[in-house]
A and B are shown apart, each in its own frame.
Chain A
Amino acid sequence: QVQLVESGGGLVRPGGSLRLSCAASRFTFSDYYMSWIRQAPGKGLEWLSYISSSASMIYYADSVKGRFTISRDNAKNSLYLQMDSLRAEDTAVYFCARDAVPFAGTYDYWGQGTLVTVSS
């Protein structure tokens, strides 16, 4: 069964940085496009970023453009999200998700999420 496991969440002060990781297993990670999606407490889902299988194409939501950086290491079967200049409104559970079809946004597998809390 496909597995995605996020890590790296925690408490960080406003203006600080955090790097999230998503470890993928039981599928050929290098074949798939991936995304980061978050959910603020009691709110809906917000897409953040998208990366193609070779990392040649990357997209960001306006809300995080210039502050967050998505990357991947296919040799390590891992996806990352570098988050800088964090704000209180970035507090959320962060999910990594696999796109079943390139540029379809059909997320067939999700991790369990990692909580990021931005607070002083």
Chain B
Amino acid sequence: SYDLTQPRSVSVALGQTATITCGGNNIGSINVHWYQQRPGQAPVLVMYRDSIRPSGIPERFSGSNSGNTATLTISRAQGGDEADYFCQVWDSTTVLFGGGTKLTVL
């Protein structure tokens, strides 16, 4: 089965740039979506089809996908960005989520 690998945690200083990766075999050939989940809340779609921001998501969020790694980048990190982030793909007839990355803003 296809596996998605995310770092368990990422830390970023306030105002700096956070990079969250999602690794998978040739993941660059498929669409990757990203979700933000704050504690006690439902996930929110923050990026779809690798690099498209849904309405209402700040321009500080960007995405890319190439080779074996998809990346979610958060520029000018704010305290409100502190959350869990999950990558996700559609694989044939199943949906796969990465294990999630906890983003800490210092």
Contacts and interface: CB of A to CB of B under 8 A. Distances in A.
Interface of A: 35, 37, 44-47, 50, 59, 61, 95, 100, 103-108, 110-113
B89 interface: yes
Contact of B43 (A100, A103, A107): A107
Contacts of B90: 103-105
Contacts, number: 58
A27 to B, nearest CB: 15
Interface centre among A46, A100, A105, A111 (most CB of B within 10 A): A105
A110 B95 contact: no
Given A44-B100, A95-B42, A105-B89, A59 B94 contact: yes
Nearest to A113: B42
Nearest to A93: B42
Given A100-B48, A108-B45, 5 more contacts: A59-B93, A103-B90, A104-B31, A107-B45, A110-B44
B9 to A, nearest CB: 13
B35 interface: yes
Interface string B66-106: 00000000000000000010101110011111111000000
Contacts of A103: 90
29 contacts: A35-B95, A37-B95, A44-B97, A44-B98, A44-B100, A45-B37, A45-B86, A45-B88, A45-B97, A45-B100, A47-B96, A47-B97, A59-B93, A61-B94, A95-B42, A100-B48, A103-B90, A104-B31, A104-B48, A105-B90, A106-B45, A106-B49, A107-B35, A107-B43, A107-B45, A107-B88, A110-B43, A112-B41, A112-B42
